[in-house]
Chain A
């Protein structure tokens, strides 16, 4: 596997920025000019988790032609798995002081932990579930959908229905996932205080490492023989089928892999933002994830990471400075990118300097601005 220069630079930038931010937060005094406040650390960690979701979307959309409008569902499921672990860690420190039951269950008058909460007191189990639950859901859904050759728009619409159904389901108190309010007030992760600066910094660095790992994995997958066939499926599915391949199997594998990547992103997201609730399933979130990829450049993987960071940085900035304008800006970005930048920011990078990309293109500079 050979990394192109843009990918290499992006990986180094992501890792480097995360490390620098974490070090500046830990090593400098709070009063010092070089000090990075903790909320920036949490924000950067959040961006990196969104980048994992974007990477997952790009893997299926950019390389298998499956436009998922429900990928945030896998992200949220991973988040819920982590949330359940964190809830169990609260123990007697909850408002009701019940050693076994999370507060919302005590509040609902439940006597025992539902069976599906079994095992979530172990971190390893929760991490496994954060991958397994999205994988199983994606496996069943994808097996049914790809086998019956649901493609294109129809697939997009039923993925949206999927996340919408999950949104409604998780709003129900009877589900045992905290209903409307979801899960929050987390205390510990693996014995470390979730709120502590050091934990936050560590989580940021871990997110960066995981993101880079996911990127390398995705790169490996799309560069492999498997990836070549995937691209063939994306471009002309029927011709690939006539050549003797089974497109549905290829799609299913990459679809499940992508769901797992999104699930991991969600699992890392929850301890850093400190809350998980059903609104993460909202269809709008999934569509927003698609726009990150579109902004960055579909089918480039690097673009997905850049897009997620750029758009979310923009969102943070706009909602702080000009809250009214944010929806205009987001909407305009959708329209502008689809009309004028079909290959996203990466398209700019590659067309402006096709052979020897400058290290400091506007996109990379923007990325530095965001992370650093």
Chain B
């Protein structure tokens, strides 16, 4: 506290200069722009900088008041801050000053030069803010501006800093600012280059590349650092491609997981699979609308409620389709293909008639939006959640097939229908339930896809070819193959994109797939045995 008082005394002394300058400080300021004395402005600016470097929280209040135009001074150089209700508080202590009236004080005015000093000071002051995120933010701002003027404040802040993350960023900011400072020594600059090289991101690179052209040891070091950072960034960009690839792969996996059941396990070519996905997306839309109307308090978890609902609705539709259409067509795969294609047209038109042809808005809940930084990667939450969700769905599906009684019966019917029937399994019902399971999984996929794609009647069409590709590529009847196939396709696609462009990349992937299927007609992990020839 004594320090603060000393500082405030300082600013009071410096701000108006001397008694003789006092009028210049605010009277002249208030008069007209032409009459402003340059000396006084220098002194005001100087006072602000001194105050900013003091590192006291109270300083921020005072400079903030100056910034807002609520800082007043009386004839004795005492500073007061006007409150919104028109009363004044003492700038030293923050205590109320009830006996001060408007007549006693004059506003401390500012001009552009002072204003920019205020801005810089406020930025610097946040380096001393009590909470770490604000300090981190301020240090980032200094790094971005790398203004040498911030150096003294940074030095003070660094000495006090205890949070290691903030401290590191401050050191980097100091290094960036040092490199722009004309008077820094060569040794300091070399140190600064090393610090930035260790940071190794695009921002550090842009600071360094400005120096890389210079002669002398600093320029050489900077050039070497740029090369090193480029190398580092390249590794991160590979990692980024892999991540995007996994992200795309997880979407493909979600879309194909249901098909791995209906097509892979049952052998039904369900061209209406995409429409099951689309129905799932529309269920999400309806659930959100209903919850918005009736349960607004739970709106945040609407997606979690949509997941089981989509499973049930799409699954029920699937059971109905199996019972009414597909069961007549077992053993005639090509006819199934045509009939389900016709069905997909009908389902699209039904949805179009019910909801209209336009895209429907499905909200992304707060906990799914935004992004975060991981090393050199920028990860968005919704993509990350979809990746996790896709793997959870596949894991649940595998567990259901392996450990539940229904899964056991499904596998029994697939492997040997007549034997299963002889053991008392009602094979027609198992067929219906298996198809329902596959359709339900497709519906769940629709919930996830509603977050990243347009919810329209055509939603499913975009995924049907990809889904079949994934299942065929992975090997029919093999969920591991489907998983690996989806991820491989996703990653290959994302690696080709920067080289060939998005569309050409996709074409190349399709052509590669066609060639792959020609070489391995049964996919990566073919089922072994005589059953495959049937």
Docked-complex contact A339 and B338, CB < 8 angstroms: no
State which size class the interface on B falls in: 35 or more
A169-B507, A335-B325, A339-B329 as given contacts; A150 in contact with B517, CB under 8 Å = yes
Say yes or no: is A189 at the interface (Cβ < 8 Å to chain B). no
Closest to A67 in B: B334
B492 to chain A minimum Cβ distance, whole angstroms, is 15
Residue from B333, B339, B348 whose CB has the most chain A CB atoms within 10 Å: B339
Q: Contacting B335 at CB < 8 Å: which of A147, A283, A342?
A: A342
Residues of A contacting B: mostly: helix
Docked-complex contact B338 and A157, CB < 8 angstroms: no
Docked-complex contact A331 and B514, CB < 8 angstroms: no
Say yes or no: is B210 at the interface (Cβ < 8 Å to chain A). no
Q: Which residues of A contact B513 (CB under 8 A)?
A: 158, 161
Known: A69-B337, A147-B518, A158-B472. 7 other contacts (CB 8 A): A153-B337, A157-B517, A287-B271, A327-B349, A334-B341, A338-B342, A342-B335
Chain B 240-293 interface residues, beta-carbon cutoff 8 Å to A: 269, 271
Say yes or no: is B521 at the interface (Cβ < 8 Å to chain A). yes
Pick the 7 closest A-B CB pairs, nearest first. Answer: A334-B342, A331-B345, A331-B346, A165-B510, A327-B349, A331-B342, A338-B339
Q: Which residues of B contact A69 (CB under 8 A)?
A: 337
Say yes or no: is B343 at the interface (Cβ < 8 Å to chain A). yes
Say yes or no: is A160 at the interface (Cβ < 8 Å to chain B). yes
Chain A 115-163 interface residues, beta-carbon cutoff 8 Å to B: 141, 144-145, 147-154, 156-158, 160-162
Q: Contacting A67 at CB < 8 Å: which of B337, B515, B517?
A: B337
Q: Once the chains are docked, how many angstroms separate the CA of A155 from the CA of B348?
A: 26
Residue from A67, A161, A171 whose CB has the most chain B CB atoms within 10 Å: A161
Closest to A61 in B: B334
Q: Once the chains are docked, how many angstroms separate the CA of A141 from the CA of B521?
A: 14
Say yes or no: is A291 at the interface (Cβ < 8 Å to chain B). yes
Q: Once the chains are docked, how many angstroms separate the CA of A179 from the CA of B269?
A: 32
Chain B 424-447 interface residues, beta-carbon cutoff 8 Å to A: none
Say yes or no: is A290 at the interface (Cβ < 8 Å to chain B). yes
Say yes or no: is B372 at the interface (Cβ < 8 Å to chain A). no
Q: Once the chains are docked, how many angstroms separate the CA of A151 from the CA of B337?
A: 15
Q: Which residues of B contact A328 (CB under 8 A)?
A: 345-346, 349
Q: Which residues of A contact B511 (CB under 8 A)?
A: 165
* A side interface size, CB within 8 A: 44
Say yes or no: is A330 at the interface (Cβ < 8 Å to chain B). yes
Q: Once the chains are docked, how many angstroms separate the CA of A10 from the CA of B380?
A: 62
Chain A 163-201 interface residues, beta-carbon cutoff 8 Å to B: 164-165, 168-169, 171-172
Q: Contacting B510 at CB < 8 Å: which of A145, A161, A291, A333?
A: A161
**What 0/1 pattern do residues 500 to 519 of B give for CB contact below 8 A with A?**
00011011001101110111
B423 to chain A minimum Cβ distance, whole angstroms, is 29
Q: Contacting A330 at CB < 8 Å: which of B328, B335, B339, B345?
A: B345
Q: Which residues of A contact B339 (CB under 8 A)?
A: 334-335, 338-339
Say yes or no: is B118 at the interface (Cβ < 8 Å to chain A). no
Say yes or no: is B344 at the interface (Cβ < 8 Å to chain A). yes
A158 to chain B minimum Cβ distance, whole angstroms, is 5
Say yes or no: is B353 at the interface (Cβ < 8 Å to chain A). yes
A67-B337, A148-B521 as given contacts; A338 in contact with B349, CB under 8 Å = no
Chain A 277-296 interface residues, beta-carbon cutoff 8 Å to B: 283, 287, 290-291, 294
Residues of B contacting A: mostly: helix
Closest to A337 in B: B338
A335-B339, A342-B335 as given contacts; A153 in contact with B269, CB under 8 Å = yes
Number of A-B residue pairs having CB atoms within 8 Å of each other in the complex? 116
A259 to chain B minimum Cβ distance, whole angstroms, is 16
Q: Which residues of B contact A162 (CB under 8 A)?
A: 510, 514
Q: Contacting A327 at CB < 8 Å: which of B271, B346, B507?
A: B346
Say yes or no: is B239 at the interface (Cβ < 8 Å to chain A). no
- A selection of 14 A-B contacts at a CB cut-off of 8 Å is A148-B518, A149-B521, A150-B521, A151-B521, A154-B521, A156-B269, A158-B514, A168-B510, A327-B346, A331-B346, A334-B338, A335-B339, A338-B329, A338-B342
Q: Contacting A291 at CB < 8 Å: which of B329, B338, B344, B533?
A: B338
Docked-complex contact B514 and A161, CB < 8 angstroms: yes
A283-B465, A327-B348, A328-B349 as given contacts; A145 in contact with B518, CB under 8 Å = yes
Docked-complex contact B465 and A161, CB < 8 angstroms: yes
Docked-complex contact B333 and A153, CB < 8 angstroms: yes
Q: Which residues of A contact B533 (CB under 8 A)?
A: 238
Closest to B464 in A: A283
Q: Which residues of B contact A164 (CB under 8 A)?
A: 465, 510
Q: Once the chains are docked, how many angstroms separate the CA of A335 from the CA of B269?
A: 14
Q: Contacting A152 at CB < 8 Å: which of B334, B517, B518?
A: B334
Say yes or no: is B311 at the interface (Cβ < 8 Å to chain A). no
**What 0/1 pattern do residues 49 to 87 of A give for CB contact below 8 A with B?**
000000000000000000101000000000000000000
Chain A 243-277 interface residues, beta-carbon cutoff 8 Å to B: none
Say yes or no: is A356 at the interface (Cβ < 8 Å to chain B). no
A67-B334, A150-B518 as given contacts; A160 in contact with B507, CB under 8 Å = no
Say yes or no: is A332 at the interface (Cβ < 8 Å to chain B). yes
Q: Once the chains are docked, how many angstroms separate the CA of A330 from the CA of B468?
A: 23
Q: Which residues of A contact B510 (CB under 8 A)?
A: 161-162, 164-165, 168
Q: Once the chains are docked, how many angstroms separate the CA of A7 from the CA of B113?
A: 95
Q: Once the chains are docked, how many angstroms separate the CA of A165 from the CA of B465?
A: 11
Q: Once the chains are docked, how many angstroms separate the CA of A160 from the CA of B507?
A: 13
A154 to chain B minimum Cβ distance, whole angstroms, is 6
Say yes or no: is A4 at the interface (Cβ < 8 Å to chain B). no
Docked-complex contact A291 and B342, CB < 8 angstroms: yes
Say yes or no: is B469 at the interface (Cβ < 8 Å to chain A). yes
Q: Which residues of B contact A283 (CB under 8 A)?
A: 465
